[in-house]
A and B are shown apart, each in its own frame.
Chain A
Amino acid sequence: MASVIVVDTELKDSIKEYAQIIDAVNGNTEFSGSVVSDLGDGDAEIEHKSELITKITQVSTSSTLTKLSDREFEPAFYLLIHILSELSEKSSAELLDDENSYVIKLLLESNPEKQALVRDRKTVKSTSILSILTNIFNLIPEVSKTRIYLIKQILNIVKSSNIKFSIIENNLGNNLINWLTKSQANDTEIRSIFWDFIQLDSEFSLKSLTLIKSFTLNYELQSIQELYNLINFALSSKTVDVSFLITNNVAQSLQAHAQDSLVATFTKYVQGDLVTVPESFSNFKFINQKSRILSLAKFLSEKSQSNDHDSIIFKYDEIPTELAANSYEFETLLVNSIRANVIEGKLNQLESTFYLSRVNRFILAGGNNHQVNANNWNEVKQALYEWKNSLANINEIVKATRENIFNNGSA
């Protein structure tokens, strides 16, 4: 399933149509006049195809085409692709399957460098360029290397023209690696394109975090720079609990670079230890707040598991002072944690207690956490058995009630 161009008119009529478009821009009839002689009479074949191609490519410069309005530019460009592929007797896929092809160069030159002023709202927009690029991408075969080049160009345009990341996030994000592998991009290319793509996300969204995760499932982080990219993204993101990012590959890389200060901070952060941020990390806006939330979650989960503590009821004054100095701060912190989806529970302000109903654990992959995870598995198993038993009881009660209703009804 790919893009398909269907043109209903004869090639000659298409060329005339294109000539009219160019003439309308230039405000004269020069070009139409000059192509008429090349087209020949009536139904006769066009003789000098290559000359005609030269003529057309000479007039179709980016400065001419960008004078078209945004609505006219895209259709005109498709017509140009169609004419050129017909004249050169190639399919449009063959015509476009070349990084240095005239068409792709022309298109990239036409991308507006500056954001359009309100006054010239009709000028060609970057989204139109993107739309044509995606169509070219869809026209050329999956295995073509040109696709790699196109993806790079698309990322460039998104970066330079301030296009919203949300436009490319879903489609490009879900398929990027797949497409690149099909085009036989090498490992380094895939890595660099992937991180370029991720770094376009200025919102540091959860979706991008999951993309990073699925990337690390298949690719090891080879350089410390890649690890930095991941850490920077995770710490800048609004998502608080990023423990899901720590896959076996990431854990391995974290261990290898454990000496590095940023890596060490990150490791502490994901384990729920309170992180105090040095001055140099000031670009992570939320990290202090995020770390406090995680640290609270860790405190709650550890306390609820210890034998000498009630499993769900917490009093305000049990909370360590470095997390919350007074009850007001604690309540704010709790509300934030609940909003961050790390903790669930209920506050009782009258008795100043907190009923915990769910808290995130920090399950991390990697050899260091092997023992911790083994314990966690055992606990999960125990919880499952308990659940199973209580279900059996409920089922009996339900059955008994049914019997009761039935007997009473018949009596």
Chain B
Amino acid sequence: MSGETSFMHLVRPNVSAPAASAATGTANIKIHAPALFQILEIVSKQVLSAEKRIIGTLVGLRSDDGLELEIRDAFVVPCNETGDSITIEDSVHKTLFQLYKKAHPKEAVLGWFGSSNQIDNTTSLIHDFYSKGSDRAFPHAAIYLNVEYLTADNQITVPKLSTYIGAAVGKPAANTQIGWKTTTVNNSYIFTPIPNQVVNGSITEKIAFNILKEKSVNTPSTSLESDLSYLSKQLQVVDTNIDNILHYIESKGLETNHNSDKDIDLLRLLSNNLLNRPQQLSNSEELKNLFSAHNQDVIMIEYLTKAVKDQIELSARLTASADAEKKV
């Protein structure tokens, strides 16, 4: 977690969800880049009609203590708003989630997202919908992700992401039992902002993203380059970077002028990392030596790991056979 936020978040507030443990630390939400694109695509339909609310379900992973949440995917759920009341098409939500669950059995509903400029009673109603009932965030607390990208007069701006958790207000949710049904009465929440960060999942995703960035969208096929031309391309990139640094140093005349704190930091970074690099490139004899030493180290480590592994296996077998003898 990094960066400046306008709000303070130290401890996750108490939530009414039964499975949520007592709060002991900061909560944090990670939004995976593919999920974010999905969310942005869905909420961008808001521009079609400002009156119609567009919401959807967030799915992903939740840590054991409920403090770390990872949004992995999202899907839209149709809803109809008339005046103060709202109907959410529960069946669509259920079907889509069941489908998703088949492919990702370990993931669960985390909460919901929407695009609105303010938090009001309807927000609280929808939040309540996601906090209770099966196939939703219950028995954990739901989270709410808001993407604000329309200004008050319906102009599009840069999307602003904010994430909230709904802490309970008032009496603890009492379960009133009427016949077979158990209903929980508590529609009041205090929406507390919690920090979020967008993460770029795996290395493969990053590589794919880089290729996408280079190729224009309409290129019919992307051919992967063979290893060597990729290598020489990367070498060129490093070469340009070195040129840039040299240009920076020379243009500012850093050897003679007064150094600002930033320049000192740069100098520290460069001299800590660059000087004393072994001169392997110019001295092939040394390179050979170091390489064989390195190989020997690797073999040694492999040997040791194997020895330890054998030991463990042996002891497991001995225990097993001792147990077997006892039974006889």
Which residue numbers of A lie inside 8 Å of B, CB to CB? 1-9, 14, 17-18, 20-21, 70-76, 78-79, 82, 125, 127-128, 130-132, 134-135, 137-138, 142, 154, 164, 166-168, 170-172, 174-175, 178-179, 217, 243-244, 247-248, 301, 304-305, 311-312, 346, 348, 355-361, 363-365, 370, 373-374, 376-381, 383-385, 387-388, 390-395, 398-399, 401-402, 405
Contacts and interface: CB of A to CB of B under 8 A. Distances in A.
Given A131-B13, A135-B192, A78 B264 contact: no
Contacts of A73: 14
B264 A128 contact: no
A85 to B, nearest CB: 12
A196 B306 CA distance: 52
A247 B6 CA distance: 28
A361 B271 contact: yes
B47 interface: no
User: Interface residues of A: mostly helix, strand, loop or mixed?
Assistant: helix
Contacts of A398: 228, 231-232, 235
14 contacts: A1-B6, A4-B190, A6-B119, A20-B171, A72-B171, A127-B22, A131-B10, A135-B13, A138-B192, A171-B1, A172-B8, A247-B264, A312-B278, A370-B259
Contact of B242 (A179, A378, A387): A387
A394 B264 contact: no
B253 to A, nearest CB: 10
B260 to A, nearest CB: 7
Contact of B267 (A8, A76, A168, A363): A363
B172 A72 contact: yes
B190 A135 contact: yes
A221 B57 CA distance: 51
A380 B242 CA distance: 11
A171 B168 contact: no
Interface string B212-240: 00000000000000001101100110110
Contact of A391 (B162, B235, B250): B235
A361 to B, nearest CB: 5
Contact of B169 (A5, A175, A391): A5
B277 A357 contact: yes
B261 A170 contact: no
A134 B10 contact: yes
Given A138-B192, A167-B11, A377-B255, A17 B170 contact: yes
A127 B10 CA distance: 9
A18 B170 contact: yes
A244 B12 contact: no
Given A4-B190, A171-B8, A373 B169 contact: no
Given A356-B276, A381-B246, A74 B171 contact: no
Chain A CB within 10 Å, residue with most, of B169, B195, B256: B169
